[in-house]
Structures are given as structure tokens and as C-alpha cells.
Amino acid sequence: MGRNTLIAALSAALALAGLSLPASARTTQAELKPVPGGFTFEQPVFGRFDQGSLQRGYKVYAEVCSSCHAMDLMYYRNLCQQNGPFFDPKHPNSNEAPICKAIASSIKVPDVDQDTGDATQRPATAADKFRNPFPNKIAAAASNGGAAPPDLSVMARAREGGPQYIYSLLTGYVSPPAGLTVPAGKYYTPYFPGDLGSAWTGAKDKVPQGGFISMPFQLSPDRVTFDDGTKSTTDQEAKDVATFLAWTAEPKQTERKEAGLAVMIYLLLLAGVLYVSYRTIWRNVSH
Amino acid sequence: MVDTANAESHLKDDPSRRDFIHIAAVTGAVGGVAALAWPLVDQMNPSGDTLALATVEYDFSKVALGQQVSINWRGKPVFIRHRTPAEIAKAVADDHAAMPDPQTDEARVKPGKADWLVLVGVCTHLGCVPGFGGGEYGGWLCPCHGSVYDTSGRIRHGPAPKNLAVPDYAFTGPTKVKIG
Amino acid sequence: MSGHPPSTYEPKTGIERWLDARLPIVRLAVDLMDFPTPKNLNYWWTFGGILAVCLVTQIVTGVILAMHYVPNADMAFNSVEHIMRDVNYGWLVRYIHANGASMFFLAVYIHMARGMYYGSYKAPREVLWLLGCIIYLLMMATAFMGYVLPWGQMSFAGAVVITSLFSAFDQVIPGLGTAITTWLWGGFAVGGATLNRFFSLHYLLPFMIAGVVVLHIWALHVPGNNNPTGVEVKSKQDTLPFHPYYTVKDGFAIVAFFVLFAWFVFFAPEALGHVDNQTPANPLVTPAHIVPEWYFLPFYAILRSIPQKLFGVLAMFGSIGMLFALPWLDTSKVKSMRYRPSARIFFLLFVATTVLLGWCGGKEPDDMVMTMGHTATGDPTGFSVVWFSRILAVYYFAYFLLVLPILGLRETPTQVPANISTPVLGGAAMPAGSAAQAEKKG
């Protein structure tokens, strides 16, 4: 009885600890919970990216987001690496993949002239980082009403809800409820964290969820033309770019899940063999 | 002690089963550790960003005749030398002279581009960077231990065993060379 | 049973005899493997071995991460991402290290709870217990400094809050706390100098842990293992040689533990982390809701439950200090709670208390455990987290300072078996049935 009680108590304790974890990770801000975008790649074991969606997502980033948002941790070669948007088994070396070389060379990045030391522009190479739209953070803030657009490299890991949050935010702009004063240069969305108490003139216990964001609504049907013929709706654009950002946040996640499956099978087999070995050795010990 | 002895004697009754399952367990564990060792070793190999910079392109239009530039390739100096006809003639004339690592000058340049000599500027002795213009062959002299290279970058005397290495390179345009 | 039995090692070859006369290291290894171990140890005892594996894992992966990490405030965040993206298998090594810390604490908490339940801290094992407490303190320091290294927002906030605890000493001697924090920071705030020294210490402390672990094992091998009955080993009949009996049992438990570990590493690597740490540290902005890693939450809750700064800090350190005093607070002559029915209930309450304190630590103090109404401005009123953690903190301290000292003098334990083998073999001296029943699965 003694040991059973202990086991029961500790299991209960661990279960409680488990329950408390998501709670501890959650913030108390009163933004709306993101809507699930049907992102099957989020499934912990078998979730995989759809390459077509990643390619479309890159296009949305390149044609819409990249005019304001940097991705300082991403290089053009990353697009062609294993499990990336433009990975082609014929070109396993992402540095030499023609698609990435072509993507890079169509973009001009700043450089320093080797002879004069002057600032100059040159076509990017696959080894270059994604072009930063602004020379520095101050310029980024100055060009955007004082709010520097955040770097998107790990955005999907840096917000509760990840890709669901990005998808919800991009599609969730609504007209502000009556009684909410939206400051100049700001936009209301219920998915953006914030505290609207001071901008709310209605009932004190009915402060709307969400916050003010400096980014205007960006996506619209056919804002981006998809090369694979997928119909370019706002919803599709948002889903694809959220998928792309989920990939950039951790480009090695497919490798991780694949390795994990092999490791799990190995560990379970080894545990089984060890258990039999243990029972064999202890067979005649009364304990 | 009694039941310990019992246990042991009983195990001895059935050696095949005992052997198989324990050997399987130990083999499985050792195999797992060995498999885990690879990532722990491989992490010290060049990382993705290092590999991405394994190739450099250089525009040599501004390198005048008789001049050379040193560019950084994979963390090592690469000499791109615009050779004068006199330097080339001197190198070709010595093609069949006795040297530690015999090689013709032609084999060390691209066809029709004998005026461009591309070398990894690392002495084959112990890795110092040789300087141009020293030594009696009009080529490079290594400051560390006095290895002397000729105008083709071939070792002529001194402790170095090999000629200065010619990297993989290709002319990608009229004034462009890609190294690596 | 005290100390090792006479050594059974007999060097066979000339080289073995030569080495044995000069450095008897083979003899040491053989004697450790032959060490007579109580035969009734259950799975709770495998966590010692699991912890040894955790320590080795953390040191090996940590040394590797240090090959790629840059302890510079401008580059630390990106160097971690460089490990995740470009270093070969860097993601694997980093995820093992980051989740390994959580696994380490999970195992150490189970190990400590096992020691508390079965009275493993009592004579003659007080020094063994104290060394364990020192290891735990060093682990907390190491984990805290390690969490700062990725230099995300939560790293930074954690460094600020924990180092600022020392500023409470300003309330003892004005200026003392400020002097200490300035010294810790190497500046007027947490910054690059702080990061660099934390990196140095984070690298050093695990080796100190390893040293104390050697002492811990030494101190274990003098009295030998405690066991679920709490009755000391009386004869050879009570024991088995460590190898192969416990190597295989520990081995199985370690692999089973690895299944859980691997689940986190491969399938939920950031479940135990916090999203705010994916934003580079910014001294000008603090995240809206800062929480420490889960393994510190109970102590964090105790800290916040007391509104006065100095006493909050003292209570937090005191809650850890209780562990050091434990061997002298428990007055019971019976080691194992298997034979202390009432102590068992208080112990389970204590475990539940620490878990609930952890839950409180993850909440905002003004959050409601039970909402009973709303104020005019719409804020909820009722039983708040801060009050809940106060009640829990009171029980936490009462368990050490009141329950254990008094209960040992007043309770009536059930009959303790005469020796380990008797209940095991189903002999006449069977106690209240409970032990034997539980034992069969052991």
C-alpha cells in the first residue's frame, strides 16, 4: 500500500505539473485565441511541410512582407536545402542549386567596393542573407511610424500559437467596435496582444480583446500570383506565408521528426530486450 | 546468499537463452552509443555557412601585368598573379630542370591563360604564407623555413616537399574567376 | 553493513599486479561492481543512475555547444540559431542540452522525494543527504546561468530578476545589496559582462557537480544503500552484488527514461520553454509575463507570496535551506514511511503542495484560483493565486518545522520488519501486509 500510494501521488503530482505547464507558458493578455489554420505540419510526430505551400509562402514573403520585414537568420541557400521550399534531389548541395542561385542573383544586396571602399550594390549569391529592407533598426523604425517591423526569422516560434497566430493576425483585421478610439497610424485586430483599456470608452468590464498594431492589413486576393496555379485568395496567402514562417523558424524540424521516429523505435526495442534480460537475471531472486 | 547462488546456478542451466538476451541487450546499447557518437563527431566538421562560402568569385580586371592579388578563400590566401611574358618564359624554360615535385608550367595554368597563375598561398612545408620576389628563382620565398618557389609556384629548394597547390578554379567570364 | 566488504579482486596477469600495487583502479572498479546492494530496491532507486547519465549527457552536449556558442551580447542569440541551423546535428545537441536540464530536474526531484519518503537522510546517511543538497544547489545555479546564455528576452529578464534578489540586502545594510548586484553584473545593469561571466561559470559548475557526485557516491558506499524497508542490511542474505543485478535494472530504467527524454527532444523540443525567449534580449522592454523555468516555479511562488522584499528573498532561500536541516528535523526512529501511516499522508500533502506551488509560480499573483465576482471596473475578485501560494508556503515550512519534529515523537508506527529478507521471503514477521504486497512487483 505504501509504495502504491507513493506511486499514485507522484503520478498525480506529475500530471498536475504537466497541466500547469501550458498555463505557465500562457500570457494573461486578453487577445483572442488564434484560429487553427488546419496546419497538419504542426503534428509532433508525423507532421510534414507541403513543399508547394512553402514555395507559395516564400513568394508571399518575397513580394509582400520583405519590403518591411527582415529575416536575418535566413540565407538564400536555405531555400534549397533538404526539406526546404525549393529543395531538388538533383541538386543536394543547396549552395549550388540553380533555383537558389537564380533567386539570389535577382536581388541586389549592399556591399563595399573592394577598390574604393564606397557603398555599392551587387547581385546576391546563395551564400548571402536575405536582403534586409533597411540599413539599420533606426531607419526601419523611422520609415514605419516609429515601430520597427520585427525580424520574421523565428517569428513562428516567438509567439504563442506560432503559425496559427500569424495566420489569424494576417486575416483577422476587423473594424474597431464602437467606443474604441484607434490612434493615428494604428490598426485594430483582436489577435494582437495589448491592453485597450485606455482607448475604450464603453463599459469597463467589456474592454474588447486584442490590441493596436502598426501594420496595415496587407493581403488581398491576387496580391501574389502563384506559379502553381493555386487560387490566390487572402486566406490562401496567409496560410502559405504562415507555413513558410513555421519552416524558417526551424528549418531542421523535418530532420528532427524523422530522426525522432527512428530513435523511438530503437529505444522501445532496446527497452524490451533489456527488460527480458533483467527478468532473466532476477528470475530466481525473491525480492 | 542462498537465493543468489540459486539464481546463478539456474542461469547456468540455460546458457543459450542467457547468452542471447544479454548479448542482444549489450549489443543494442553499444550500437546506440556508437550511433549517437556520429552526430557528436560530425558537429566539428565545417558548418553550413562555412560550406556556403567554399566558393568565391573574383573580378581580376584591375590586376595589372606583373601584379598579384591575395584573396581570402576558405580562410586561406589565394594568389592570383598576372604573369609577365618573362616570368612565363622563365617558368617554361625550367620545365625539365631537376626539382622535388616535377611538373610543367602548362599543367599549372588553364589552356590559353598562361598569364594567369592561381595558387593557394600556403607553403607546403608547415603552412606559412610565402612572399613574392624572394629567392633566386624570381618566385616566392617562404619566410618561415626558406622554401624557394619559382615563377610557376614550383618548389625548387628548401624543406617544402610539394609545389604550391593550384586550387580548383574556372574562368566564368572574360574578367572573372571562380575559385573552389 | 559498513563500508565495502573485503575486496574480491585478484590480479591475474603481471601487468595487473604491477598496476594494482601502484594505482588500484581496476580493484576500485571491480569492488564498485561487486558492491553488496539491498535486494529489495524498487524502481525509485534507479533515479540515482539516471541522474548520473543526465550529468554526463549535459557535460558532453554542453562542451559541444561551447565549441559553437559566442558569449557576446550582440552575437549570443544568433550563435544559438547558428547551432540550430548550420552546425551539423547542432539542433540535436542543443535540444538534448536544453531538454536535458528539465529531465535532470525531473529526475532529481523524484530522487529527492524518494529519499524523503524512505528516510534516506537519516543516520548514518546525513552527510550523503547534505552532499546531495549541495549538488542540487549547484544544479540550480548552473541551470539558471545556462538559461541566460541564449540571450533571449526571458533569459535577460531571468538574469535581471534573480540577480536583483541580492539587492534585498540593501534593507539589511544600506548599499550592501547594490554593491553585490553591481559586482555580479560587472556593470550598472545586466549586460555583456554579465553574460560572459555566466558563461564561464556555467562551464565550471558542472565539473564541480561531478566532483561532489564522487563524494556523494563515496558517502553512499560507506553505510551502503538505504532500502524501501528502511531496515539496515543485516547479513549477506539481504544483498546482491551491484553487477549484474542492478546494472541491468538501472539500465532498463535509464532506457525507459530516455523514451520520455527523446519524446521531448524530437517531438516537443520547446514545450518546456517559453516563446518570449525566441526574441533577442532587449534591455528596454520586459515581456508582459515573466516566469522562470518550470523547475524553479515553486520557489518563485514562495518568493512572490511575501510582499516584503527582504523576507520574500529570505523565505525563498529558507525553503531550500529546509532541505539541509531535514536530517535533524525529523525525530522519528523509523526510516521508511512505509511503516509510518500518518507521516505518509503528510508527505503526500507536501508533494501536492510543492506541485501546486509550482502551478502558482506560473500564474500571475492577481489571477484567481476561484473567481467569486467582479469589481466595478470588471476585474475579477475571489481567491487569488497569491493567497493560495501563501497557504501552500505555510504548509511547506510547517512540514519541515512542525510536522516532522512533532510527528516523530507522537505517531505510532506499524511494525517494522526485523530485517530486509523477512518481509521479502514472506516470513513470520510480516508487518501490516502493506509492505509485502507492494514488494512483489519490485
Residue range C30-59, pLDDT digits in tens: 999 999 999 999 999 999 999 999 999 999
Looking at per-residue pLDDT, the higher value among A148 and C374 belongs to A148
Whole-angstrom distance, CA of residue A5 vs CA of residue A7: 5
Query: B22–A284: do the CB atoms touch at under 8 Å?
Result: no
Phi, psi of B78 (to 5 degrees): -115, 125
Report the distance separating Cα C103 and Cα C54, nearest Å. 7
Chain C touched by A25 (CB under 8 Å):
yes
Mean pLDDT of A258-266: 97
Contact at CB, C363 and A282, closer than 8 angstroms: no
Alpha-carbon torsion angle A74, A75, A80, A85, nearest 10: 30
Q: Which of C108, C114, C120 lies closest to C326, judged by CA?
A: C120
Ramachandran region, residue A89 (left: φ > 0; alpha: ψ -120 to 50; beta: rest)? alpha
| Polymer length in residues for chain B | 180
* Chains linked to B by 3 or more Cβ pairs within 8 Å: A, C
Q: From the CA of B180, how many Å to the nearest CA of chain C?
A: 20
Cβ burial of B177 (10 Å; 0-12, 13-18, 19+) is buried
C208-227 pLDDT per residue, tens: 999 999 999 999 999 999 99
Q: Does A273 touch chain C (CB under 8 A)?
A: no
End-to-end CA separation in angstroms for chain A: 16
Give the whole-angstrom CA distance, residue A92 versus residue A97: 7
Question: What percent of chain C has pLDDT above 90?
Answer: 85
> Do B153 and B98 share a structural domain?
yes
pLDDT of residue A204: 79
Asked whether residue B139 falls in the same domain as residue B166, the answer is yes
Q: Which partners does chain A have (≥3 C-beta pairs < 8 Å)?
A: B, C
Verify that B64 and B151 share a domain, yes or no.
Answer: yes
For residue C102, what are the contacts with CB-CB under 8 A and spacing of at least 6? Answer: C264, C272, C293, C294, C295
**R_g of chain A computed on alpha carbons:** 25
Whether residue C274 is predicted with pLDDT greater than 90 in this model: the reply is yes
For cell 608547415, name the residue.
B126
Beta bridge partners of C146: none
Q: Given this model, what pLDDT does residue C427 score?
A: 44
Q: What is the pLDDT of residue C378?
A: 67
The pLDDT assigned to A19 comes to 40
Catalytic residue set of B? 145
Q: Å from B12 to nearest chain C CA?
A: 14
- Is the pLDDT reported for residue C126 higher than 60? yes
Angle CA A160–A165–A170, to nearest 5: 150
Residue B10 pLDDT exceeds 90: no
Question: Looking at the predicted structure, is the pLDDT value of residue C100 above 90?
Answer: yes
- Among B136, B143, B138, B137, which residue's Cα sits nearest to residue B121? B143
> For residue B163, which of B153, B151, B171, B148 has the smallest C-alpha distance?
B153
What b-and-e string marks burial along B107-139, b requiring 16 or more CB atoms within 10 Å of the CB? ebbeeeebebbbbbbbbbbeeeebebebbebbb
Domains C35-277 and C291-411 share a fold: no
pLDDT of residue B16: 60
pLDDT tens digits, one per residue of A193-249 = 888 888 998 887 788 899 999 999 999 999 999 999 999 999 999 999 999 999 999
For residue A74, what is the nearest residue in chain B, using CA coordinates? B49
Residue in chain C closest to B22 (alpha carbons) equals C248
Out of B156-170, C72-86, C99-113, least confident range: B156-170
- Cα distances (Å, whole numbers) of residue A258 to A250, B54, B164, C88, C328: 14, 29, 45, 16, 52
In Å, how far is A228's CA from the nearest CA of chain C? Answer: 28
Q: Which of A115, A266, A273 sits opposite B21 (nearest CB)?
A: A273
Q: Quote the pLDDT of residue C318.
A: 96
> To the nearest whole percent, how much of chain C has pLDDT over 70?
94
Note whether A127 contacts B49, CB cutoff 8 Å: yes
- The arithmetic mean of pLDDT across residues C269-274, rounded, is 94
Q: What does the alpha-carbon distance between residue A163 and residue C112 come to, in Å, rounded to a whole number?
A: 40
**CB within 8 Å of B159: residues ≥ 6 apart:** B125, B145, B146, B147
Write the DSSP string, C296-311: GHHHHHHHHH-SSHHH
Residues of B in contact with A266 (CB under 8 A): 28, 32, 35
φ, ψ (nearest 5 deg) of residue A54: -65, -40
Distance CA A283, CA C296 (A): 42
Cell 542492478 belongs to residue: C246
**Chain A residues closer than 8 Å to C271 by CB:** 21
pLDDT value for C3: 59
Residue partners of A9: CB distance under 8 A and separation at least 6: C348, C351, C352
- pLDDT confidence of residue C191: 95
Of B1, B45, B47, the CB nearest to C237: B1
pLDDT score of C349 more than 80 = yes
Classify domain A27-48+159-273 at the CATH class level.
mainly alpha
| A44·C377 Cβ contact <8 A | no
Closest CA to C109 of C135, C148, C147: C135
B173/A contact by beta carbon, under 8 A = no
- Checking if the pLDDT of C281 tops 50, the result is yes
Contact C90 B49 (CB under 8 A): no
Proportion of chain B above pLDDT 90, given as a percent: 63
The residue-averaged pLDDT of A58-64 equals 97
Residues 271-290 of C with CB under 8 A from A: 271-272, 274-276, 278-279, 287-289
Residue C267 at interface with chain A, using a CB cutoff of 8 Å: yes
- Cell numbers 509550482 correspond to C358
In chain A, where the domains are located: 27-48+159-273
Q: Report pLDDT digits (tens) over A177-193.
A: 999 999 998 999 999 98
**Residues in chain B closer than 8 A to A125 (CB atoms):** 57
Quick one: cell of B79? 594568389
pLDDT tier at B176, thresholds 50, 70, 90: confident
Q: Which residue has the cell 550500437?
A: B31
Q: Which domain holds residue B35?
A: 2-42
- Distance (Å) from the alpha carbon of B76 to chain C's nearest alpha carbon: 21
C-alpha distance from A164 to closest chain B C-alpha (Å)? 30
- Which pLDDT score, from 0 to 100, does residue C437 have? 43
A285: pLDDT strictly greater than 80? yes
What would the mean pLDDT of C12-33 be, rounded to a whole number?
Answer: 94
Inter-helix orientation angle B15-42/C242-262, to 10°: 50
- b/e map A44-66, b = 16+ CB within 10 Å: eeeeebeeebbbbbbbbbbebbb
Cβ distance B169 to B68 under 8 Å? no
pLDDT of residue C441: 38
CATH of the domain at B145: 2.102.10.10
pTM, entire model: 0.89
The answer to whether A126 contacts B3, with C-beta atoms less than 8 Å apart, is no
Looking at the structure, do residues B124 and B158 belong to the same domain, yes or no? Answer: yes
Lowest average pLDDT, out of A109-118, C55-64, C252-261, C274-283, goes to A109-118
pLDDT attached to residue A17 = 43
pLDDT of B90-142, one tens digit each? Answer: 999 999 888 999 999 999 999 988 899 999 999 999 999 999 988 888 899 99
Is residue C179 scored above 90 in pLDDT?
A: yes
Considering chain A, what is the average pLDDT of its residues? 88
Confidence of residue C424 (pLDDT cuts 50, 70, 90): low
Give residue limits of the domains in chain C.
35-277, 291-411, 417-442
Distance CA(B15)–CA(C420), nearest Å, equals: 31
Task: Write out the CATH class of domain C35-277.
Answer: mainly alpha
Q: Do C237 and B44 touch (CB under 8 A)?
A: no
Angle among Cα A211, A212, A218 to the nearest 5 degrees reads 115
**A25 pLDDT exceeds 50?**
no
pLDDT band of residue B4 (cuts 50, 70, 90) is: very low
User: CA C298, CA C320: separation in Å to the nearest integer?
Assistant: 11
The per-residue pLDDT of chain C, averaged, comes to: 92
Q: How many domains does chain B have?
A: 2
Q: Do C89 and B39 touch (CB under 8 A)?
A: yes
Residue C440 has pLDDT above 50, yes or no: no
Percent of chain A, pLDDT > 90?
Answer: 73
User: What CATH class does C291-411 carry?
Assistant: mainly alpha
Chain C residues with CB-CB distance to B47 below 8 A: 68, 82, 86-88, 90
- Pick from A2, C359, C102, C330: which is nearest to C110 by CA? C102
